[in-house]
């Protein structure tokens, strides 16, 4: 039997599933293709972390997209819980960075300051 899909999402990690979820909410007949459990994928590599500090210093659109995704996660997590009864355990307590030299601290401050220019609400 031949299966036909409107969209095939490659990768079944958190991003792939989020994309497939959104497509299915738009009534697209969607399939997800994923590797094996031992494959080293982005979700496995970063444990599903979503952070905004330091992302997109030299690419403002990427920085803006990261911030937008981070601010939209709480609503998405609530919707998933309402639809499935499963709490995904979202927690956004902030983050911490360690700097071993004054130079790396100065560089990080400079980068975050660059990010703040185009990001309302983005702060140190």
pLDDT higher than 70, residue 114: yes
Q: Are residues 124 and 98 in the same domain?
A: yes
Residues 76 and 124 in one domain: yes
> Which residue would you say has higher pLDDT here, 77 or 40?
77
- Tell me, yes or no, whether 118 and 63 share the same domain: yes
Same structural domain, 109 and 83: yes
End-to-end CA distance of the chain: 56
pLDDT band at 26 (very low <50, low <70, confident <90, very high): very high
Across the range 114-118, mean pLDDT stands at 73
3 state SS of 116: helix
Token pair belonging to 75 = 């609503």
- Tokens 């911030």 label which residue? 67
Q: Is the pLDDT of residue 123 over 80?
A: no
pLDDT higher for 46 or 110?
110
* Residue with the two structure tokens 């293709």: 33
The reply to whether 59 and 42 lie within a common domain is no
Number of domains in the chain: 2
Place of tokens 């036909």: 4
Does one domain contain both 93 and 75? yes
Min mean pLDDT across 30-34, 62-66, 97-101 is at: 62-66
Q: What angle do CA 107, 110, 111 make, to 5 degrees?
A: 85
Write the pLDDT tens digit of every residue in 46-67. Answer: 655 666 777 788 888 888 888 8
């Amino acid at each position: 039997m031949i299966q036909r899909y409107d969209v095939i999402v490659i990768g079944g990690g958190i991003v792939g599933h989020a994309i497939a979820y959104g497509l299915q909410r738009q009534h697209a007949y969607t399939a997800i293709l994923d590797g094996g459990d031992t494959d080293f994928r982005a979700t496995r590599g970063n444990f599903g972390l979503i952070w905004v500090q330091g992302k997109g210093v030299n690419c403002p659109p990427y920085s803006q997209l990261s911030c937008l995704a981070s601010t939209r996660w709480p609503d998405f997590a609530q919707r998933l819980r309402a639809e499935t009864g499963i709490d995904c355990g979202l927690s956004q307590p902030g983050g911490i960075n360690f700097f071993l030299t004054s130079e790396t601290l100065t560089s990080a401050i400079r980068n975050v300051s660059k990010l703040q220019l185009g990001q309302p609400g983005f702060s140190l």
